[in-house]
């Protein structure tokens, strides 16, 4: 099959119009969490960090892009994977970087 970094680059371009170099994607880990919209199912995620200041535009399956601060999420409904695993990891990485 397609290598994960190449699939990441393809999906980001198709769904957000974002063009990246797959070799610049930093693998952060693999995570499993309850599916947000399918009770009784789980989602598996290979998480990569990609840095870009390019504008993203929702396309394909994406209805909306919303940028929020990692600590200002009280009013935002997030999938368990993002809320419980990805954001805590992001906050931890930000703390280490500062």
Q: Please give the Cα distance from 57 to 68 (Å, whole number).
A: 16
Structure tokens at 38: 């399918």
Local confidence band at 51 (pLDDT 50, 70, 90 cut-offs): very high
Rounded to an integer, the average pLDDT of 14-31 is: 96
Average pLDDT, the chain: 91
Convert the pLDDT of each residue in 57-92 to its tens digit. 988 888 888 887 777 666 788 889 998 999 899 889
Q: Please give the Cα distance from 32 to 85 (Å, whole number).
A: 9
Distances (CA, A) of 64 to 16, 58, 67: 10, 6, 10
The domain locations on the chain are 4-97
Q: Which residue spans within 12-78 are E strands per DSSP?
A: 26-34, 42-49
Q: Nearest-5° angle of CA 71, CA 72, CA 78?
A: 95
Higher per-residue confidence, 97 vs 48: 48
Which pLDDT value is given to residue 61?
86
């Amino acid at each position: 099959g397609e290598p994960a970094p190449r699939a990441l680059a393809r999906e980001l371009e198709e769904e957000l119009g974002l063009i990246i170099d797959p070799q610049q994607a930093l693998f952060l880990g693999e995570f499993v969490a309850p599916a947000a919209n399918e009770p009784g199912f789980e989602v598996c995620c290979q998480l990569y960090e990609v840095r870009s200041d390019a504008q993203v535009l929702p396309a394909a399956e994406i209805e909306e892009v919303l940028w929020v601060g990692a600590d200002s999420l009280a009013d935002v409904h997030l999938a368990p994977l993002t809320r419980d695993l990805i954001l805590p990891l992001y906050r931890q990485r930000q703390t280490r970087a500062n």
